[in-house]
Structure 1
Amino acid sequence: MEAPRARAERHSPAPTPSIARTTCDDAPIWVSNCNGGMYLLPGALAAMIGEKWKHHARSLYASRDLLEGYAHHIDQISFAMAILDLGLEVEALAVAGNFPLHLAAQFAAGADINPRVLHVHWLRMGDQRLMATGHPGVDRAVEAVNAVLA
Structure 2
Amino acid sequence: MAWSCVLDDTEALWKHFLVWIATLLDCAGVSPDDIVIHHVTDLRPDIHTLVTRLGLRTQPIPRFDPRSPHSNKISQCATDFGSAERVVLTDVDLAFLARPPIESILSPVAGKLVDFPNPPIEVLRDLFRHAGLPLPETPLTATFVDPQGAPNPFQTFPANYNGGFYVIDRSVLSELGLAWARRARWLLDAELIPERYAIHVDQISFCMAAHECGLNTQSLENAWNLPTHVENIPGDAPPYVVHHHGRLDDALGILPLRPTRHEDVIARANVAIAAFLHRYGMGLSA
TM over 0.5: yes
Residues 89, 127 of structure 1: CA spacing in aligned structure 2 closer, same or farther, 3 A cutoff? same
Question: Percent identity between the aligned chains?
Answer: 28
The letter for the 1-side match of 2:255 is M
**RMSD (Å), alpha carbons:** 2.1
From the CA coordinates, give the structure whose radius of gyration is larger.
Answer: 2
Task: State the 1:104 CA deviation.
Answer: 4.0
Give 3-state SS (helix, strand or coil) of 1:27's partner. strand
| 5+ residue gaps, structure 1 | none
Q: Kindly indicate whether residue 131 of structure 2 is the aligned counterpart of residue 12 of structure 1.
A: yes
Q: Is the 8 A contact 1:4 1:68 kept in 2?
A: no
Q: Kindly indicate whether residue 269 of structure 2 is the aligned counterpart of residue 145 of structure 1.
A: yes
Report the counterpart of residue 46 of structure 1 in structure 2: 173
Q: Pick which of 81-90 and 122-131 moved more.
A: 122-131
Aligned counterpart in structure 1 of residue 207 of structure 2, from 80, 92, 96: 80
1:78-101 Cα shifts (integer Å, max 9, x gaps): 100000100112111122122222
Residues 8, 143 of structure 1: CA spacing in aligned structure 2 closer, same or farther, 3 A cutoff? farther
Aligned counterpart in structure 1 of residue 248 of structure 2, from 124, 128, 132: 124
Q: Which has the higher strand share?
A: 2
Task: State the 1:56 CA deviation.
Answer: 1.0
Provide TM-score, normalisation by structure 1.
Answer: 0.82
Residues 8, 144 of structure 1: CA spacing in aligned structure 2 closer, same or farther, 3 A cutoff? farther
Report the counterpart of residue 224 of structure 2 in structure 1: 97
Aligned residues: 144
Structure 1: how far apart are the matches of 2:271 and 2:194? 39
Task: State the 1:4 CA deviation.
Answer: 2.8
| 5+ residue gaps, structure 2 | 1-121, 145-151, 275-286
1:15-50 Cα shifts (integer Å, max 9, x gaps): 112311124342111112112221111111111111
Task: State the 1:131 CA deviation.
Answer: 1.6
Q: Which has the higher helix share?
A: 1
Q: Is the 8 A contact 1:101 1:123 kept in 2?
A: yes
Q: Is the 8 A contact 2:248 2:255 kept in 1?
A: yes
4+ residue stretches of structure 1 with deviation over 6 A?
none
Q: Is the 8 A contact 1:5 1:67 kept in 2?
A: no
Q: Is the 8 A contact 2:127 2:192 kept in 1?
A: no
Structure 2: how far apart are the matches of 1:55 and 1:5? 17
